[in-house]
Structure 1
Amino acid sequence: MLSYLEAGKGTPVVLIHGNFACKEWWRGLLEDPPQGARLLAPDLPGFGESPAPEGFTPSIPGYALALRAFLEEVGAEEAVLVGHSLGGAVAMEAAGERTRGLVLLNSAPPSGLLTPEAYYPVLESYRQDRKALEVALEAMAPTFRPPWFGELVDCAQRMHPAHYQGNARALSLWRAGRAYGGPVLVLYGTLDPLISRAMAEETAAFFPRGRLLVLEGVGHSLNLEDPPRLRAILEAFLKEVEA
């Protein structure tokens, strides 16, 4: 069973964090849930308080399998899946016939996300270099960082050792094999240094019912930078799904 946080009542909405992250990245939204939403924010295997299984190797299909098991355990098979960054790839992979909808927040695109080979030693160095890790995470939330941001850095540094390079490898290898047919909302913050607008457009175009919402004045992490804005977007999406 994955460790998770929960808030609110109503339609299940599962919040899937990205790389170098954990369930606490959704704390601002959990403190003020969208109306009519039962928020569930799990730690993926090897992140936060969810241990990795023996012989663990990071992969998007592996994370999706763990997420689907979690949905069954908490009775949320018909959830709306909200994926941030790497979590967007996990949401795409995990979505099934019972999924109510997808919200992909500055997500890795369905064609995968390539990390240049020269950058892998830098990723590995974050295991010992907390300050460098903090600077890297700050770039992912350029417009605002919550008072508990230091806790997020600590959480990132406690990841399973295989995550430091393995998650980037996993995203480089992964390709979305099928397009979920339900409603899909792709959110893109224009100040994002990691995901380009072209990637966001590719993601929206991949889905039969995909659409792109471009957000000015925000970077890679709307869940940290402006939780009230994300709350309003999710409330509107839930009304669309339920209609």
Structure 2
Amino acid sequence: MLSYLEGGAGTPVVLVHGNFASKEWWRELLQEPPKGAWLLAPDLPGFGESPAPEDFIPSIPAYAAALRAFLQEKGLEDAILVGHSLGGAVAMEATSEKTRGLVLINSAPPSGLKTPEAYYPILESYRYNREALAQALAAMAPTRRPPWFSELVERAQRMHPTHFQGNARALAEWRLERVYPGPVLVVHGAMDSLVTRAMAEETAAFFPRGKLLGLENIGHSVNLENPGLLKGILEDFLKEVHGEVPGGG
């Protein structure tokens, strides 16, 4: 069972964090959840308070399997899935015919995300270099960081040892093979230094019902930078999902 936080009441919305992250990246949204939404934010295996086996090999299918098991255990197979960064790939991979909607926040695209080989030693160094890790995470939220940012850095440094390089390799190797037919909202912060606008456009175009929402003055992590803005975005998406004819997709 994955460790998780929850908040609000109504339609289940499951929040999937990214690399070097945890359920705590959604804390402010959980404190003031969108109207009509029951938010659940799990820690994926090897992140936060969800353990992973010592010999765990990170992969997007492995994370998606853990997420699907969490949804089944909670009886939430029809939840809306919201994925941030690596969590977007996990959410895409975890969708089923019961999934009511998909929101992808500065997500890796369905074609995967390749990290240059020269960067892997740097990723590994974050296991021991807290200052460098803090600087890297700060770059992912360039416009605003929460008061407990140092806690996020500490949690990131306590990831499973294989995650530091393994998650980047998992994203480089992954390709989405199933096309989710339901409503998909792709959210992209214009100041993101990791996921480009072209990647976001690719992601939206991949899905038959994909839409792209561009955010000015936001970087990679609207969940940290402007949780109030994200709250409104999710409220609007909930209205779109609820406006559909039951069984209509």
The TM-score by the shorter chain falls in which range? over 0.9
Superposition TM-score, scaled by structure 1 size: 0.99
Give the match for residue 91 of structure 2. Answer: 91
Q: What is the identity, as a one-letter code, of the residue corresponding to 1:198? A: A
Give the match for residue 40 of structure 1. Answer: 40
Deviations 1:136-187 (A, max 9, x none): 0000000000001000000000000000000000000000001100000000
Give the match for residue 102 of structure 1. Answer: 102
Report the identity percentage: 74
| Structure 1: distance between partners of 2:118 and 2:54 | 29
Root-mean-square deviation over aligned CA pairs:
0.5
Q: 1:75 deviation in Å?
A: 1.5
Give the match for residue 209 of structure 1. Answer: 209
Q: What is the identity, as a one-letter code, of the residue corresponding to 1:222? A: V
Q: 1:54 deviation in Å?
A: 4.8
| Structure 1: distance between partners of 2:223 and 2:194 | 16
Pairwise mapping of residues 75-224 of structure 1 onto structure 2 (< 5 A)?
A: 75-224=75-224
| Structure 2: distance between partners of 1:149 and 1:97 | 37
Q: Which runs of structure 1 show a deviation greater than 6 angstroms over 4 or more consecutive aligned residues?
A: none
| Structure 2: distance between partners of 1:62 and 1:106 | 21
Give the match for residue 28 of structure 1. Answer: 28
Q: What is the identity, as a one-letter code, of the residue corresponding to 1:59? A: S
Matched, 1:10 2:10: yes
Matched residue of 1:102: which SS?
Answer: strand
Q: How many residues align?
A: 243
Deviations 1:60-109 (A, max 9, x none): 00000000000011121110000000000000000010000000000000
Matched residue of 1:61: which SS?
Answer: helix
Superposition TM-score, scaled by structure 2 size: 0.97
| Structure 1: distance between partners of 2:216 and 2:179 | 27
Q: 1:196 deviation in Å?
A: 0.3
| Structure 1: distance between partners of 2:80 and 2:178 | 18
Matched residue of 1:187: which SS?
Answer: strand
| Structure 2: distance between partners of 1:172 and 1:219 | 22
Unaligned runs of 5+ in 1: none
